[in-house]
Structure 1
Amino acid sequence: MSPSLPSPSASVGRRRVLGGLTAVAGTGLLAACGGGSKIGADQAPSAVPSFSGGDYKGPEVTLDYWNGFTGGDGPHMRAMVAAFNKQYAGRIQVRITTKQWSDFYPALPTAIAAGKGPDVAAMHVEWLSTFAARGTLLPLDDVVASLGLSENDFIPAVWKAGIWRDKRYSVPLDVHCLADYWNSRQLSRAGLKTAPTDRKGYEGALDELRKAGVAHPFWMPNKWPGHLMFMSLLWQFGGELYDAEGTSALWGSDAGLQALGWMRDQVDRGYSPGQVPQDGQYNAFKNNKVSFTWDGIWQINDLKDTAPNLKWGMSPVPVIGEKAAVWSSSHNFVITSQAARGDHKAEAAKVFIDHMSKQSAEWAKAGMIPARNSVRKDPAVAALPQVPLAKDPSVLHFLPPVPGIGDVQSASLELAVQKAVLGQSSPAAALKEGVATANKMLAANRKKYAQ
């Protein structure tokens, strides 16, 4: 993450925002990136012109730009690219290719190796270290310097995630996170005007909603976005995902047990059906069958477009644990090693990123939160419904910048959440099994990425 959906049956599109995070297990992405060979970022092409800002003075060039904005955010991105093409007509033209995120990441390394991939791309923050470590991206320190960007104007975790081995490989565009969506009419029936913000109030509201005739007010997903909910709760209970070096999984802690136990409790207490099908909770919300659902801020535009009669509100995810925390991610602009093979392409790509990074206020209309603190302070941006969720950036938590972390998550953490929520394993057993798998994969990744 993003997206509006073509229809309820096509609601897998909602996972487009972060679909790539869970899509690559078993797809051969790592092999395509170089398998077990010790390829490092220092082997990426680097003999490209530096960028110092200003206008493009090279010959006319066409750039291929890949992204995964296939939903309601897509028209906004296409409009931004069209505006760039108009401004740079006869000099730089950007040819945009939009893929499902689940197709984007597996296809990227092979396409670049064949010279048929993108010169510039938008990528999730949790994938930056993986592709930088494999030499697939070009450093962007000169672009950042020319824009005058610094950590002081960004959420620290987002800013730091773009650095690999002391070089910067991305320019952050946005931040997106989970939010608590609620059905205004159903809450009214239970005597509530807004969603409660703490555990006692939230669980009390669920009881009142059941008394008011809502059979299952809070459906608990076992797949998307169940793992994002688990991570949010883990951080709320004071836990961490991995150690600082990315060598050990820590989510099997007492904090993890409390988080996953609370998720399963929603089923045991009857607030949720026992088996919620993929996207079932979101479709039920859109059809007035669910009072609360946790989902991404990108759903704002989808709800406006596809559920115009639904009366809903949006709040930060409630504090079920000891402190506010919520899963978050970020889209970042990158330049691939393919751009270094074409005359002036890397230079033109840097001009494109320079231009697009200045449009983050426009991009906020797609339902995203601008990554830059200064842009979020703009009155027009601050008035957007999703922006207040980043009022305190310290509550926004991100996956650590560990190469290969996406594969680890999908093969271990996500399966643990699924088994526990479905009642196939106890939360404790599911976490123990998942952590064992994660630690084996982390050890293999250290060799694979020559850390």
Structure 2
Amino acid sequence: MPGNEFPSIPSLSRRSVLLGGAAALGGAALLPGLSGCAPAGGAESYPLKFWHLLSGGDGIVMAGLVDAANGANPEFYAAQTVLAWGTPYYTKLAMASVGGRAPDVAIMHASRLPGYAPGGLLDPWDTELLAEFGVTEDNFPPRVWEKGIIDGKLYSVALDAHPFILMYNTEIAEQAGALGPDGQLVEITSPEQFLEVARAMQAVTGKHGLSYGYLGDGAQMWRLFYTFYKQLGADMVLENGQEAQIDEEAAVTSLSFIQQLLDGTIATKSGDYASAVAEFVNGESGMFFTGVWELPTAQNAGFAFDAQPIPTLFGTPAAYADSHAFVLPHQSTPDENKRREVYRFVSELFKGSIDWAGAGHIPGYLPVIDSAEYADLMPQAHYAAAAEVLNYDPPAWFTGSGSDFQTYFAENVQGVFLSGGDPAEGIRGFARRLNTLLAKPNPVAGS
């Protein structure tokens, strides 16, 4: 999930969905061995259609979780359909809900919820029924649970949190004098101290102290900017019909510090994501700003490293993050017995999510995080605290993973990152672009 962006979903209407017909299912991949409706648990099992956008290593882990849930529960049989990440997925999900062809359950990025729930594309979860299966509010970090609530109703329940974190090479850190007596990176509490540590690591590698790839990647730019922006205690409010409320002073401070990092010595001025990954795993830098999804890459590279939440440099602990969350795509007349089995199925995935943690994600389900098995997962246990301080995209119909929101950010601030452009001008240009969007209605809510 390096942050590829796609155009935002077009305005939808029931007519366009019906005319689109089979296109709503175009590009879908039904996983081998899961495509049949004949349930493995016997003739009385309820077949469940489960859509998600997880491929690669995440897709393999999810397939294992689903197989385990199916094998342990004769009451249902869930078949997975995997669709292309980004706008192709979110467009098909919206069209299926409007056109009466919705799956029984799906995964959505929690940051996309504000664009879907108000338009009636999702059904709310019954919290009492969830509780019957051991899924309750106190089982989740507050910010993770609260993100699923729109207008007082629970529309999503997060399987995980996947924040932006700091990885570091422990051997380089030790040579730079940056490891504490516990063998972990020393506590860093200011931007000046971070620069000092990064320069010390650069002196060891002879190349760079920090890897951070952003070129042509709006998601990567946004993740780091928003982490520091929130550490400064700033909010960003995007309400339709009003101008964007952005704390310009905090935005400029965040962007100016990123410019200090991208000085050609601490970090390269023009690195792309793939180059940053390669640089870090090859020992050419001591630290790496990245997402938890890159954990398997670092582990497979076979060098000594650890990870932690991004240090609190500006006073307020904060991390950018998103979540893969379960949603109920709208069905006009759902089969209540089948829907009950959806709740059972989802609860099984939560309870088995220690395997999901193995892929780097922080489980949303606290009983897993609090388990002895999770405490033994390294470095996952060292960055789990990021779930307590995470921040999702500011809510708006056009924000969230796979939307154009982060691309608009890149259009206005890449010059700030790359060539030392004026941070104030960059953030003002971004605000003007947001104001244009805020003057438009949510195209899904208007369907």
SS at match of 2:57: coil
1:201 matched to which residue of 2?
Answer: 193
Residue matched to 1:391: 385
Is 1:237 paired with 2:232? yes
Distance (Å, rounded) in 2 between the aligned partners of 1:213 and 1:275: 19
Match for residue 425 of structure 1 among 421, 435, 439: 421
Which residue identity lines up with residue 359 of structure 2 in the other structure?
A
Distance 1:220 1:98 in 2: 30
- What is the match of residue 27 of structure 2? none
State yes or no: 1:95 paired with 2:91.
no
Per-residue deviation at 1:147? 3.6
Kindly state the Cα deviation for residue 389 of structure 1 after the two structures are TM-superposed. Answer: 2.6
Match of 1:281 in 2: 276
**Larger displacement relative to structure 2 (210-219 or 222-231):** 210-219
CA distance in 2, matches of 1:109, 1:129: 13
In 2, Cα distance between the equivalents of 1:250 and 1:134? 24
Structure 1 contact 412–435 (Cα < 8 Å) conserved: no
Contact conserved, 1:157 with 1:398, CA < 8 A, in 2?
no
Distance 1:61 1:233, change over 3 A: same
RMSD: 3.2
* Counterpart pick for 1:158 among 144, 164, 180: 144
Distance (whole Å) between structure 2 residues aligned to residue 127 and residue 139 of structure 1: 15
Q: Hey, what's the Cα distance between the residues in 1 that align with 2:332 and 2:360?
A: 30
Q: 1:23 matched to which residue of 2? A: 6
Rounded Cα–Cα distance in structure 1 between residues aligned with 2:298 and 2:370: 26
Match of 2:411 in 1: 415
| Unmatched 5+ stretches in structure 2 | 17-40
Assess if the C-alpha contact under 8 Å between 1:360 and 1:375 holds in 2.
Answer: yes
Cα distance change on mapping 1:252 and 1:414 into 2, 3 Å: farther
How far did 1:112 drift? 4.2
Counterpart for residue 192 of structure 1: 178
Provide, for residues 219-268 of structure 1, a one-character-per-residue CA deviation record: whole Å limited to 9, x for no partner.
34332422101110101122122268895434452111111111112223
Aligned residues: 410
Report 1:169-180 matches (<5 A): 169-180=155-166
AA in 2 matched with 1:337: H
What is the alpha-carbon distance in structure 1 between the residues aligned to residue 85 and residue 332 of structure 2?
Answer: 21
Q: Given the superposition, is the C-alpha separation of residues 64 and 318 from structure 1 closer, same or farther in structure 2, using an over 3 Å criterion?
A: same
Task: Give the counterpart letter for 1:420 in structure 2.
Answer: V
Counterparts of 1:151 and 1:414, CA distance in 2: 36
Structure 2 residue aligned with 1:404 = 398
3-state SS, counterpart of residue 236 of structure 2: coil
Aligned to 2:56, what secondary structure does the other structure show? coil
Where do 5+ consecutive residues of structure 1 fail to align?
A: 1-13, 37-55
Are residues 106 and 280 of structure 1, via their aligned partners in 2, closer, same or farther at CA, if it must alter by over 3 Å? farther
Match among 27, 39, 51 for residue 66 of structure 1 = 51
Q: Work out whether 1:136 is the aligned partner of 2:126.
A: no
Which amino acid counterpart does residue 371 of structure 1 have in structure 2?
A: G
Tell whether the 8 Å contact from 1:111 to 1:117 is kept in structure 2 after alignment. yes
Q: Hey, what does 1:261 align to over in structure 2? A: 256
Q: Distance in 1 between matches of 2:429 and 2:257?
A: 19
2:109 aligned to 105, 121, 124, which one?
124
Using the TM superposition, give the Cα deviation of residue 442 of structure 1 relative to its aligned residue in structure 2, in angstroms. Answer: 2.2
State which drifts further: 144-153 or 362-371: 144-153
In the alignment, the residues of structure 2 paired with residue 35 and residue 237 of structure 1 have an alpha-carbon distance, to the nearest angstrom, of: 47
For the 8 Å contact 1:61–1:92, the answer to whether it is kept is yes
**In 1, Cα distance between the equivalents of 2:15 and 2:269?**
40
CA distance in 2, matches of 1:57, 1:361: 28
Identity of aligned residues (%): 24
Q: 1:204 to 1:33 in 2, by over 3 A?
A: farther
Structure 1 length normalisation: TM-score?
0.80
CA distance in 1, matches of 2:185, 2:241: 36
